[in-house]
Every structure is written in structure tokens, then in C-alpha cells.
């Protein structure tokens, strides 16, 4: 191969590589590139009616990847709906636990701590407010 061809190929590869790196750096910001910008102060995402979350139980808002519980009347807690074991989505709240269908992990509705493994880390806490009977994710 001639020296000019080699130089042209190296230049083309360098430009292509730089473009790929620049393109990848445009996205992300989180550890897996799926983070969204934080909501503006005072704004939030309405999840639903507080009346839909039973006392001593909870409700999974799958489209928002959040589970909201009400361990005692008027006390609401919220957690990520993503199991800390292998990233499956929890799908039910029953008998005082938030339950993952993939491997059977269970988390306590009061604080998201592990009630039964194989998960060994609690669910990530989320912040919600309840105003006018509506639950809002901060």
C-alpha cells in the first residue's frame, strides 16, 4: 500500500473515531445514559390519586418506574420500582412488601429495605408529595 493511501485511511479513521466519541458524549450524564434532566423547582409529575394507594399496601406506577406505599394512614413513601438485585421491575405490593417477580425479592413498604432476598440493597427512595388528594413525584 502506498504511503498516501495509508495516510488517507488513518486520517479517515481518526475523523470517524472523533465523530463517534463526540456523538456519544452528547447523551448520558448518568451511569447508563438514560438520565433525564431534573424537573424545574416547584414542578413534578402527577402519579395519581392518593385514594388509589391502600393503607398497609401500595401501588406500582410502572410507566414512571415508581412504587408508592402507605404504611400507615396518611403516611406515604415512594421508591424506585427497579429491583436492586438484577434490575427487574417490581410488579406488586402485597402483605406489607413490594415484590419482584423475577427472583422473588421482597422489600418493606415502610422504608424499602430488603425483607427477602436475593436482593441485598434497599430500593432507592423517591420523593412524593400528596396535595389535594393527588400524588406528585418531585
**Residue-wise pLDDT tens digits, 71-122:** 999 999 999 999 999 999 999 999 999 999 999 999 999 999 999 999 999 9
Contact 89, 65 (CB under 8 A): yes
**Residue-wise pLDDT tens digits, 14-67:** 444 444 334 433 333 333 333 344 444 446 899 999 999 999 999 999 999 999
The distance from CA 120 to its chain's CA centroid, rounded to whole angstroms, is 17
Can you give the pLDDT at residue 101? 94
**Integer Cα distance of 130 and 132 in angstroms:** 7
Can you give the pLDDT at residue 44? 87
Amino acid at each position: 500500500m502506498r504511503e498516501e493511501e495509508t495516510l488517507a485511511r488513518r486520517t479517515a479513521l481518526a475523523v470517524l473515531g472523533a465523530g463517534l466519541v463526540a456523538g456519544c458524549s452528547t447523551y448520558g450524564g448518568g451511569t447508563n445514559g438514560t438520565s433525564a434532566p431534573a424537573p424545574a423547582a416547584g414542578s413534578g409529575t402527577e402519579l395519581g390519586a392518593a385514594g388509589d394507594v391502600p393503607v398497609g399496601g401500595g401501588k406500582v406506577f410502572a410507566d414512571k418506574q415508581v412504587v408508592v406505599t402507605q404504611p400507615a394512614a396518611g403516611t406515604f413513601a415512594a421508591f424506585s420500582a427497579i429491583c436492586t438485585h438484577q434490575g427487574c421491575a417490581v410488579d406488586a405490593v402485597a402483605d406489607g412488601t413490594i415484590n419482584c417477580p423475577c427472583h422473588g425479592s421482597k422489600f418493606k413498604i415502610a422504608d424499602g429495605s430488603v425483607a427477602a432476598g436475593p436482593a441485598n440493597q434497599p430500593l432507592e427512595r423517591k420523593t412524593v408529595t400528596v396535595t389535594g388528594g393527588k400524588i406528585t413525584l418531585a
